[in-house]
Amino acid sequence: MQHESNIVKTMFHHFFQPIYCLTDDKMFGVEALLRSSNYPNPETMFKEARKLKQLHELDMKSIHKAILSYLEAGSETNRGYLFLNVYPSTILHPKFIPFLTAVISNTVVKSQQIILEISEGEIKEEFEMLKRKITSLKELGIGLAIDDVGKGFSNIKSIIELEPDFLKLDRYLASDLSRSAKKQSVVNSFVKYGQEFQCTIILEGIERKLDWEVAKQLDVLYGQGFGLCKPLPIEEVIV
């Protein structure tokens, strides 16, 4: 039992990676990324939490700490949106919406600043219930982003029916985008979809200036990646 409590009590912090507008280089938002010296790979920490049936607790603790770190650094409005990773199973948990409502009520963060980011590969079951939960979150002003779009086989059903505010295209599409007409065609298709259905497209994993330039030519408005800025402590994020 002692081991079970350790996964949630593990010391961790967050780095924040900026998301930029590709047309004017201004910061559009930041994504909070969990880091722990005990778990060099955060995925290992979440896998262990899932095994111990404490994934929702770790998720909520991480979200709470990320919001507090974001606010403590000050000038929160200058950083725009705050993207917070969360598992669909956590959204489905009965404690999640009351938890998030309480965090918003007890801090100065605005619900409209919060974007919950879920991986399309994690959307597997209880889909109709997930839709209802997301509808309730949207009624609170909280946004939704679907991550890893284009990694493996994209879950088209989730993209259409969950009506996300943001689609974050997987880094696979950004890698050597300037050299691949096929990737450019796929990215262009997502851009057109976003324009038609009011869904903002963010290209992740941008590492080369040429790929950044081609993304702009394809009317991708926002980007994220080491070629723009690596994840940093919030105090070091340029505002």
82-138: per-residue pLDDT in tens? 999 999 999 999 999 999 999 999 999 999 999 999 987 788 778 999 999 999 999
Domain that holds residue 203: 2-236
- Residue 40, judged by CB atoms within 10 A of its CB (0-12, 13-18, 19+), counts as exposed
Overall pTM > 0.85: yes
Indicate the residue type of 215: A
CATH no. for residue 207? 3.20.20.450
Enumerate the H helices of 143-229 as residue ranges. Answer: 156-161, 171-174, 181-196, 209-217
Could you give the number of structural domains in the chain?
A: 1
Counting as low any pLDDT under 70, the low residues of the chain are: 1-6, 75-79, 152-154, 238-239
- The tokens describing 4, both together, are 């079970």
